[in-house]
């Protein structure tokens, strides 16, 4: 009974925190759009939301590793509640510069709070072996559902009741889940403290990653792909609202299609592994991403939704493929450092994309930005075809056969 009760509570907390994760990247920039109608502000908010959690997470890995799940969710969701409430108060001051600065800082803090809340759920899952896997799968189902409906629900709220009330709803939701999580989740942790890597360890992690041809290729693809992704998504909401002049309910439909595509990407990989080797699947999914980005050239919200849905499907499938490959290729003793180094490399060009959109996006136009993103995705195809990742499972008829031989 205790396990079933915890599972229900963990699903509720995971769904609530995931709703904030997927709704706020839409709600806060929309709030900024209402304040300024500025693409530059929305791009900088996107930049802060994406970058600060990664950089702060690297520096805070040791204290976070020692914090209990109850403390993590209290600071994560409680921090969001305070943040959203403060943003509502700042907006009432009618000081344009102050509001814009607060929105940028708030976006970054929200991203960091997301890391804390997610870590709380993951570290609190009880059990071992099959029981642990079953619990994780139940929680993942709640996360998957909320990833699909979170952004569309946020858009419907804004269209129906306005951004102020929507931010207030997010504040109340974060406060409720923060208080509940502080009571429901463990107040102590038996996990060993995570040691923050030194400069020398980062160098060692980079050298180890670079000596693994397949892992190096995946890191280069991820770095390139995230750059192209930032060129699109840092201004996508502005494109819908300002360039296409769509309504809030249309925005909701667009983001629902994108979410459905992304979730579908988790289901298409397994059936293909029994027929194709992974080295061939990589360029296929990347070419699908190129096609999706080219569809953005049509100035229609539904072509944009379908194109980004295809991109989301292919990118998610790429991640599913890459997760297994990384686990196979990286020795367990090197995995934490190499994966952290890979994540740092993968996100290194996200700021560049955000800065490009903030400084020159309005002058270049979205057709140019989307075309540039498609060209970047095409570069990923070249990397996949000409490097070691394209030769994964080369001596087997399909990925399943190769994994059986390896096992």
Give the residue-averaged pLDDT of 280-288: 94
> Per CATH, the architecture of 1-196 is what?
Up-down Bundle (1.20)
Of 268 and 327, the one with more pLDDT? 268
Give me the DSSP letters along 361-382.
HHHH-HHHHHHHHHHHHHHHHH
Domain ranges of the chain: 1-196, 197-407
Asked if the model's pLDDT at residue 1 lies above 50, the reply is no
Domain pair 1-196 / 197-407, same fold: yes
Q: State the pLDDT at residue 60.
A: 60
Q: Is the dihedral of CA 15, 146, 87, 44 positive or negative?
A: positive
* pLDDT digits 0-9 by tens, 46-68: 888 887 766 665 666 556 666 78
Among 77-81, 91-95, 292-296, 395-399, the least confident range:
395-399
* pLDDT digits 0-9 by tens, 340-351: 778 778 888 888
* pLDDT digits 0-9 by tens, 89-148: 887 777 788 888 999 999 989 988 888 888 788 777 765 555 666 777 778 778 888 888
Give the residue-averaged pLDDT of 227-243: 94
Query: CATH number for the 197-407 domain, one of 1.20.1250.20, 1.10.10.10, 3.40.50.1820, 1.10.10.60?
Result: 1.20.1250.20
Angle CA 345–366–376, to nearest 5: 35
The DSSP secondary-structure symbol of 196 reads: P
Q: State the pLDDT at residue 57.
A: 56
Asked if the model's pLDDT at residue 6 lies above 50, the reply is yes
Asked if the model's pLDDT at residue 192 lies above 50, the reply is no
Query: 152: part of which helix (H) or strand (E)?
Result: helix 129-161
Percent of the chain with pLDDT over 90: 39
Give the residue-averaged pLDDT of 299-309: 95
Distance CA 29, CA 176 (A): 24
Of 405 and 182, the one with more pLDDT? 182
């Amino acid at each position: 009974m205790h396990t079933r009760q915890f599972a229900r509570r963990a699903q509720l907390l995971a769904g609530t925190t995931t709703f904030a994760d997927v709704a706020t990247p839409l709600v806060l920039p929309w709030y900024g759009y209402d304040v300024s109608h500025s693409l530059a502000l929305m791009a900088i908010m996107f930049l802060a939301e994406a970058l600060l959690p990664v950089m702060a997470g690297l520096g805070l890995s040791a204290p976070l590793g020692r914090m209990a799940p109850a403390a993590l969710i209290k600071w994560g969701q409680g921090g969001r509640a305070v943040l959203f409430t403060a943003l509502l108060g700042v907006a009432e001051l009618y000081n344009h510069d102050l509001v814009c600065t607060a929105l940028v800082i708030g976006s970054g803090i929200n991203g960091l709070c997301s890391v804390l809340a997610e870590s709380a759920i993951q570290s609190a899952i009880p059990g071992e072996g099959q029981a642990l896997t079953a619990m994780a799968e139940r929680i993942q189902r709640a996360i998957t559902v909320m990833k699909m409906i979170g952004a569309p629900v946020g858009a419907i709220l804004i269209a129906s009741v306005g951004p102020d009330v929507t931010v207030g709803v997010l504040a109340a939701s974060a406060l409720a889940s923060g208080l509940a999580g502080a009571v429901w989740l463990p107040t102590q942790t038996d996990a060993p403290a995570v040691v923050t890597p030194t400069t020398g360890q980062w160098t060692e992690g980079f050298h180890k990653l670079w000596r693994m041809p397949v892992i190096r290729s995946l890191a280069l693809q991820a770095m390139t792909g995230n750059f192209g992704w930032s060129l699109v998504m840092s201004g996508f909401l502005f494109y819908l609202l300002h360039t296409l002049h769509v309504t809030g309910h249309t925005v909701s439909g667009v983001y629902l299609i994108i979410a459905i595509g992304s979730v579908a990407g988790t289901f298409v990989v397994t059936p293909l592994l029994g027929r194709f080797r992974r080295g061939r699947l990589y360029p296929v999914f990347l070419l699908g991403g190129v096609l999706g980005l080219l569809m953005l050239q049509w100035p229609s919200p539904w072509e944009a939704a379908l194109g980004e849905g295809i991109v989301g499907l292919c990118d998610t499938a790429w991640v599913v493929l890459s997760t297994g490959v990384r686990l196979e290729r990286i020795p367990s003793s090197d995995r934490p450092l190499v994966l952290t180094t890979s994540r740092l490399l993968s996100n290194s060009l996200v700021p560049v994309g955000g800065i490009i959109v903030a400084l020159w996006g309005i002058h270049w136009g979205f057709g140019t930005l989307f075309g540039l993103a498609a060209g970047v995705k095409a570069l990923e195809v070249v990397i996949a075809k000409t490097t070691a990742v394209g030769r994964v499972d080369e001596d087997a008829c399909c990925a399943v056969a190769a994994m059986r031989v390896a096992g």
